């Protein structure tokens, strides 16, 4: 018989160790500043500019893509805020003294990563509509997720959960667009 508690403990241990190791990379100034900039752009600036460029350059079809992005973005905000309130998982730096905090948290709880949720949701919508954006958008999506762990704000599992929720929302709205 499977011992789920054991496997959950192993997964938590891996999550904790990865979080500590990755956050320690922020002790290097160049890495810290690079991932702070990525995280800051992931706050919305990158996505707002991308939506504006798509809408202006692609006409009606572009504005429909923007509408899809707005729908997944607004729904994503509601979902991640609900999840954060109901899971109440503290951020790693709040419970582990060996996690280096190099960023500013936007709220109190860790699970899931809202930055990653939105990056995946916006990125997937944009790349599905305009595959030529892949070489710019998808590396940025990955860097946003990594930045959240490097800055000590999230566990890797928070980032994976945010990515999964973001992708699920894109899939949920896809038939409407």
For 126, phi then psi, to 5°, come to -65, -45
In percent, the amount of the chain with pLDDT more than 90 equals 77
Cα separation, 177 vs 71, in Å, equals 10
pLDDT top residue among 107 and 77? 77
pLDDT top residue among 6 and 159? 159
Q: What is the pLDDT of residue 14?
A: 87
pLDDT reading at 73 higher than 80: yes
pLDDT reading at 82 higher than 80: yes
Cα separation, 141 vs 93, in Å, equals 23
pLDDT reading at 6 higher than 80: no
This prediction has a pTM of: 0.91
Give tens-digit pLDDT for 86-141.
999 999 999 988 988 888 888 889 999 999 999 999 999 999 999 999 999 999 99
pLDDT reading at 1 higher than 70: no
Do residues 7 and 136 touch, judged by C-beta distance below 8 A? no
Average pLDDT over residues 76-93: 93
Structure tokens given for 55? 């809408």
Residue 106 burial (CB count, 10 A): 10
Residue 90 burial (CB count, 10 A): 12
Q: What is the pLDDT of residue 121?
A: 97
Give how far the C-alpha of residue 54 lies from the chain's centroid of Cα atoms, to the nearest Å: 21
pLDDT top residue among 107 and 143? 143
Q: What is the pLDDT of residue 2?
A: 64
Q: What is the pLDDT of residue 110?
A: 92
Structure tokens given for 171? 């899939």
Rounded mean pLDDT of the chain? 92
DSSP 122-159: HHHHHHHH-GGGHHHHHHHHHHHHHHHHHTTS--HHHH
| CATH class for the domain made up of 15-176 | mainly alpha
Q: What is the pLDDT of residue 8?
A: 76
Indicate if the alpha-carbon torsion angle 156, 158, 164, 169 is positive or negative. negative
CA distances to 44, 92, 103, 144 from 27, rounded to whole Å, are: 26, 16, 12, 18
Q: What is the pLDDT of residue 105?
A: 87
């Amino acid at each position: 018989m499977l011992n789920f508690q054991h496997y959950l403990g192993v997964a938590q241990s891996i999550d904790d160790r990865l979080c500590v190791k990755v956050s320690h990379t922020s002790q290097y100034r160049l890495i810290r500043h690079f991932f702070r900039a990525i995280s800051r752009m992931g706050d919305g600036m990158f996505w707002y500019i991308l939506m504006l460029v798509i809408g202006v350059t692609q006409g009606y079809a572009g504005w429909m893509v923007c509408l899809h992005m707005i729908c997944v973005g607004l729904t994503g905000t509601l979902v991640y805020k609900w999840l954060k309130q109901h899971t109440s998982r503290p951020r790693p730096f709040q419970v582990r003294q060996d996690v280096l905090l190099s960023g500013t948290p936007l709220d109190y709880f860790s699970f899931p990563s809202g930055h990653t949720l939105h990056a995946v949701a916006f990125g997937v919508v944009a790349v599905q509509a305009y595959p030529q954006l892949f070489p710019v958008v998808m590396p940025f999506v990955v860097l946003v997720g990594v930045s959240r762990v490097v800055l000590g704000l999230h566990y890797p599992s928070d980032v994976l959960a945010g990515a999964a929720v973001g992708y699920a929302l894109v899939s949920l709205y896809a038939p409407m667009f």
